[in-house]
Structure 1
């Protein structure tokens, strides 16, 4: 167990180094000068002396590898630098946007589960019947729709025409999260529903299910007592990927609804060439994915005693 932990920790660190270094390279090579953009937005007279002075203050006059090394050393101490555009520490700026993303991700996840799990199970139980065809057709439509287009349609119907929800909000409110969460749930839930259907169908064709039917066990008891418990592990894996994606901030949906989350913040940071904020955002996404994967791995051991014995 100790060797496994050390191995996973090593992979964790190497992955973080790789992701942050690649991001640093891409931002460094991207067109546009963050210093010039920063000074132009500040309504000041831009001179070469001012540009050179600002570049030196931000540490952008140093060689690339020195900039990255300085960032790594500071990040290891919890200092991700100062945001060029927000004029505040990156950690503070991200903490401001984090509640919006967590609220949106949590609500979208609940909506996704309420839609995808029942639809996937019903579709599998009615394989090749009209109910299955209808649900699969709806999921195909949901997967095919771009999230930004669906968001605009929902805004038009429920915001402009019916006036049930605000069209856009720059504040975190319970009613304001409904439309963006519903948009994400339709797109993500349509994909997840098909995965649920596939997993249930695979379990239904296994020998233990056929044997239970031969013994006269009711279909409901087979479903809830045998199929669903065995289908939990693969579904948790898929759900973990979805959660990591949501916690990274869904930029397009957040921008359509003017939702104050990490995705919206990241798009603005890229537009302004705010290198520290971009790097901080990428680090957060990487950490979120890796922590969720670690939790999934731990849940496998808890839910499947065979894995616990193998790793003992």
Structure 2
């Protein structure tokens, strides 16, 4: 009698989608996984390739750009002459220092003011809590306009002053509301316990609320820093002295509009005379304007989800 073979296991049924879970929480199919990889690869390529060409062109010689007919995509003869020239003094170096100073001072000032305003608005019993909050909300939808703002800055004597690059946009209602919502999420029992122990508002803010809100404060500080670093419109309106131009205004005038830098001229690149022309130098100025933000962003990016999304949900 032949041996009896065990029954083969029945074929595994394909797991059915749960009625209690949305479609995006289900395990993806092979086609879905491949399509995600392709889409993400295309997005990464679309972001990285322009930056790669800009950096490579800034490191190339003028002859390489002429041979490539513009932006260089294949590495050839590499040199740091463009960076040596723009960082050896002159308009670009001075503009970079102006941008660094304005960004540092403006970010600290704006973050401190926003934290103080948000903490005051997050306390239900604060003085004129609701009217001040209503004023903040109005400024998010209605603005005074360009001409009244210019007349105000001019009336305060801020024309050709570095403060004209900081004070007009020192406080963002959106950032204040993000911090306010985050501060309101701090457990009231902790604050009440601190008050029982004799702590005042300054002590509560510095020792309890801020340490628990590092993520939101870091995100808001990054928002302010990026805004100050990339701003050029206020400088174009209020700064008449070329020596006080920030790097973004130099970038706009020299790279986008194709005009010579203030104090420069036209012709070939010449380190001795300080004249800066040519595509490699233009791309070097662009890299100098972009790289600082790219270096700072990774250190704050991890706080985005915890900071901004938490504040939005709590609102």
Q: Does 1:272 align with 2:258?
A: yes
Deviation at residue 120 of structure 1 after TM alignment: 0.8
Whole-angstrom distance in 2 between the partners of 1:185 and 1:100: 17
Unaligned runs of 5+ in 1: 1-12, 28-55, 82-87, 160-164, 169-175, 301-312
Q: Given the alignment, which residue of 189, 204, 209 partners 1:210? A: 189
TM-score (structure 1 length as normaliser)? 0.58
Further displaced range: 290-299 or 99-108: 290-299
Q: Which protein is richer in helix relative to its size? A: 1
Contact 1:142–1:190 (8 Å) recurs in 2: yes
Residues 271/297 of structure 1: CA separation in 2 closer, same or farther (3 Å cut)? closer
Residues 148-189 of structure 1: per-residue CA shift (max 9 Å, x gap): 556513333223xxxxx4x33xxxxxxx21222101214xx3
Deviation at residue 297 of structure 1 after TM alignment: 6.9
Which residue does 1:241 correspond to in 2?
223
Deviations 1:47-83 (CA, angstroms, capped at 9, x unpaired): xxxxxxxxx9665532358724358x63xx54446xx
Cα gap change, 1:125 to 1:89, in 2 (>3 Å): same
Q: Which residue of 1 aligns with 2:74?
A: 69
- C-alpha distance in 2 between matches for 1:214 and 1:155: 45
Partner residue of 2:247 out of 244, 255, 262: 262
Which structure: larger Rg? 2
Are 1:147 and 1:253, in contact at CA under 8 Å, matched by a contact in 2?
no
Verify: 1:293 aligned to 2:297, yes or no. yes
Count of residue pairs the alignment pairs up: 229
The aligned counterpart of 1:96 is: 94
**1:276 & 1:109 partners in 2: Cα distance?**
31
SS of 1:268 mapped into structure 2: helix
Aligned partner of 1:108 in structure 2 is 106
1:193-232 maps to which residues of 2 (within 5 A)?
Answer: 193-203=176-186, 206=187, 209-210=188-189, 213=192, 217=196, 220=201, 223-232=205-214
User: Do the aligned partners of residues 66 and 261 (structure 1) sit closer, same or farther apart at CA in structure 2, a change above 3 Å counting?
Assistant: closer
